[in-house]
A and B are shown apart, each in its own frame.
Chain A
């Protein structure tokens, strides 16, 4: 497909005297995984929030192309329309799954709730879909009625992914999805995300500070520093032939195991 699913230009955000985003542009095509890397404070999470409509930029535009080909300005669309997008066509995976999950609702309920919000009504179908998605993310279906409070960190993150993907979104925003997890749990989660994203053809904007995560999941990468994109390209180009001093610093700072 020749048209981007999501595109942005001239994005600017300031928090007081701090420049969080400075004339940032980006484009994401259907089925593509784009990694945004940089250290804390580089503006990558702010960019994710602006792209997903959660934070309004002071300047610039974000355009989303709907399945019918219509292009909409994300920050000019009516709030109910944006909410509807977030409930079905879009997904957002938080670093801390507790922010997205309802901890007092069963695992199956957490997944089914998003389906119902997107319009599903038949209880039996909803429960079947929830069970199917728990299996997809390798959570024992016997746990469907358990509350997330009894789950490990890795299971919570997988449950959040099931809840996000159950509506078969076209576009998913991920904020450090493997942050805060044990390394062995990370590997399993990365493989799961990689497999599901490829199979379902989902486009992903992935914010991470972990270059190995970016390399494994993303075809393209953007490097941010102090609110600006200092380098972008194919992931192997940027990580194997970094040109900007900051990218060289990032790449050379990784400890090889």
Chain B
């Protein structure tokens, strides 16, 4: 059963401040991802991998096509969903780990992950476990991440992304700033998420990580070359 089904997705940008230049980035993209499956987006720089990921999350509004997401027993088309439906899908079904943490001033790391872990009594305990697993030591849990290193911020971002138990996870280069030991941890976490039936779409620049987690590769080419 598909957790995510994309049909004929098109996305372009009209740059009004640059003479109305029209940049077509995605056209006719179709993609199915089953529960428990990991699909890696692959292709050269400029092929639209991050654009596709952002479109799947609803941040980039689709020009054409459908983004069907299995949500609460039915399918929701994020390409046409209203703002509140999209928020609802993001809260319960669709998680996104961006490459960079958008730092919220003054909110401690543990609170950021706990908030993502949901309302349950064990939310804080689960958040703490995730932070420890991603090698963020207890002395950092009570600190706001503004002073964290790049790798620590990325690991915090991963902890937040995995804490929510969303059935679908979008990962944008989740291991870009990590050392070998932490890369291995993230690979293990992605495998566990798959085993738990979560569907994953990711961009993995590290081939060894991609080979370790991806069931399939979705090849993408820049539109001009594809045409």
Contacts A190-B105, A191-B104, A243-B61 aside, 4 further interface pairs with beta carbons under 8 A come to A29-B84, A187-B105, A234-B87, A240-B54
For the complex, what is the distance from the CA of A148 to the CA of B155, rounded to whole Å?
44
User: Is A241 within 8 A of B59, CB to CB?
Assistant: yes
Closest residue of chain A to B115, judged by CB?
A198
How close is B112's CB to chain A, nearest CB, in angstroms?
Answer: 12
Contacts of A216 in B (CB 8 A): 104
Tell me, rounded to whole Å, the shortest Cβ–Cβ distance linking A236 to chain B. 5
Query: In this complex, what residue of A is CB-closest to B90?
Result: A234
B residues near A (Cβ < 8 Å) are 13-17, 54, 58-61, 83-84, 86-87, 104-107
What residues on A are CB-neighbors of B13 within 8 Å?
241
| Closest CB in chain A relative to B118 CB, distance in Å | 14
Q: How far is the CB of B81 from chain A (nearest CB, A)?
A: 10
Where the two chains meet, the residues of A that have a C-beta atom closer than 8 Å to any C-beta of B are 29, 187-188, 190-191, 194-195, 216, 219-220, 232-234, 236-237, 240-241, 243-245, 248-249, 252
Establish whether residues B86 and A234, one from each chain, have CB atoms under 8 Å apart when the complex forms. yes
The residues of A that contact B59 with a CB separation of less than 8 Å are: 234, 236-237, 240-241
Residues of A within 8 A of B107 (CB): 191, 195
Residue of A nearest to B59 (CB): A236
Most chain-A Cβ atoms within 10 A of its Cβ — which of B59, B60, B83, B87? B83
Selected A-B contacts with CB under 8 Å, 25 pairs: A187-B106, A188-B105, A188-B106, A190-B105, A191-B105, A194-B104, A195-B107, A219-B83, A219-B87, A220-B83, A232-B83, A233-B83, A234-B59, A234-B86, A237-B59, A241-B54, A243-B61, A244-B16, A245-B16, A245-B17, A248-B15, A248-B16, A248-B17, A249-B16, A249-B17
